[in-house]
Structure 1
Amino acid sequence: MVCRDCCCGTPKVTGINHAAQTARFAASAPVRISDCLDVCDQANVVVVQPSAAGRAAGGRPVWLGLVNDPDATEDIIGWVRAGGPGLSPPPDILDLYAIDPPRRP
Structure 2
Amino acid sequence: MPAPQPGATPDARMTDGTMTDGTMTDGTVAGGPLAGGPLAGGPVARGTDTGEVTTGSVPCRIVVCRDCCCGSPKVTGVDHTAQTDRLREAAPVRVSDCLDVCEQANVVVVQPSTEGRAAGGRPVWLGLVNDPDATEDIAAWVRAGGPGIAPLPDILDLYTLSPAQRRTPGRPLP
Q: Which TM-score band applies after superposition, normalised by the shorter structure?
A: over 0.9
Kindly report which structure 2 residues correspond to 1:14-53, keeping only aligned pairs within 5 A, or say none: 14-53=76-115
Q: Which amino acid aligns with 2:74?
A: K
RCO higher in 1 or 2 (8 Å CA, sep ≥ 6)?
1
Native 8 Å contact 2:127 2:161 kept in 1:
yes
- C-alpha separation in 2, matches of 1:9 and 1:65: 12
Greater fraction of residues in helix: 1
Match of 1:93 in 2: 155
Q: Which amino acid aligns with 2:71?
A: G
- What is the TM-score with the length of structure 1 in the denominator? 0.96
Q: Which amino acid aligns with 1:36?
A: C
> What are structure 1's unaligned runs of at least 5 residues?
none
Match of 1:74 in 2: 136
2:121 aligns with one of 36, 56, 59: 59
Change (3 A) 1:90 1:6: same
After TM superposition, give the deviation of residue 20 of structure 1 in Å. Answer: 0.7
After TM superposition, give the deviation of residue 36 of structure 1 in Å. Answer: 0.1
- C-alpha separation in 2, matches of 1:68 and 1:2: 12
- C-alpha separation in 1, matches of 2:89 and 2:157: 24
Greater fraction of residues in strand: 2
After TM superposition, give the deviation of residue 92 of structure 1 in Å. Answer: 0.1
Change (3 A) 1:51 1:13: same
Coordinate RMSD, CA, aligned: 1.2
Deviation by residue 1:30-84 (Cα, 9 ceiling, x = unmatched) = 0000000000000000000000000000100000000000000000001001000
- What is the TM-score with the length of structure 2 in the denominator? 0.59
After TM superposition, give the deviation of residue 103 of structure 1 in Å. Answer: 6.3
Secondary structure (helix, strand or coil) at the match of 1:53 reads: helix
Q: Which amino acid aligns with 1:61?
A: P
Match of 1:11 in 2: 73
How many residues are paired up? 105
Q: Which has the larger radius of gyration?
A: 2
